Structure 1
Amino acid sequence: MKKIFLVALLAVALSAAGTPSASAQTQAEKQQILNQTRQLFSGLANTLVLMQQNIRQSQAQQAGFATTLGSLSARLSSITAAALSSPAGRQGALTTVNTSQNQLSIMSTQLEIIDDRNEAMSDFLTSFQSTFSEFAGDLIDFLD
């Protein structure tokens, strides 16, 4: 999605740069460029909404992880007490430890996915900010 947006942004910028000076442009041509710019910004707005949804989803997952970690902490306390009490308690503690290890492994994988997604969004925003600044300057110069 990032590449598609940047290509579209570049196409609009290049089409603006490849036209004659603003003084030679007709009002209709300027209006067409403004309409294309509106469409571009509409696409950007939709992209930003999706990014916001991804961020909220990541935050919800991280809150769930905090709850799970709290639960695992409580289990560790009960495991310690059970392991000290009897052989049957030790077997139950071992089962709980294995289950907890599996949960932590799943959480670790999910956190890596969240981290990758957040990094991709950060890279996109950094790239977009730079490209948009150049585009906005060119558009202002063109329309003046």
Structure 2
Amino acid sequence: MHQQVQRVEQADGARKSSGTPTAVAAPAPKLEYVKLPGTKGALMVKAVETSKKSFLAILCGENGEKVELFAGTYRTALGLSRTFILPDSPRSLELQLQGDDLVEVFLVFSQNVFGLEPATVRVREVRIGRAERR
């Protein structure tokens, strides 16, 4: 009796098997970063890296109302540097670098965009013209 061996490959989260159609993977569960304090049930993760530093912003909380900001270097582990409590959950967030420093965290809401300065914890509204809104 001849046994046929099938090779299984992992590609883009779906399992592919030679001779059979592609099986669709189940939807991913909520993100959990148990080694990063306060980030259980994360809704969004953004990271930026320079040659000297790494920054990680995690949108978390029960309703996405908290941003945990972590910083580290190649020689030091990521550590919590700031926690921002938000009045509402943003649609997305972006990180802006200047050199090796994180200078602003942008929070994009449905009608507004706000910039948070991690160094001073100042908040500013970013004005967007009607032509640039989506």
Q: Shorter-chain-normalised TM-score: which range?
A: under 0.3
The TM-score normalised by the length of structure 1 is 0.15
Higher strand share: 2
Higher relative contact order (CA 8 A, sep 6+): 1
The TM-score normalised by the length of structure 2 is 0.15
Larger C-alpha radius of gyration, 1 or 2?
A: 1
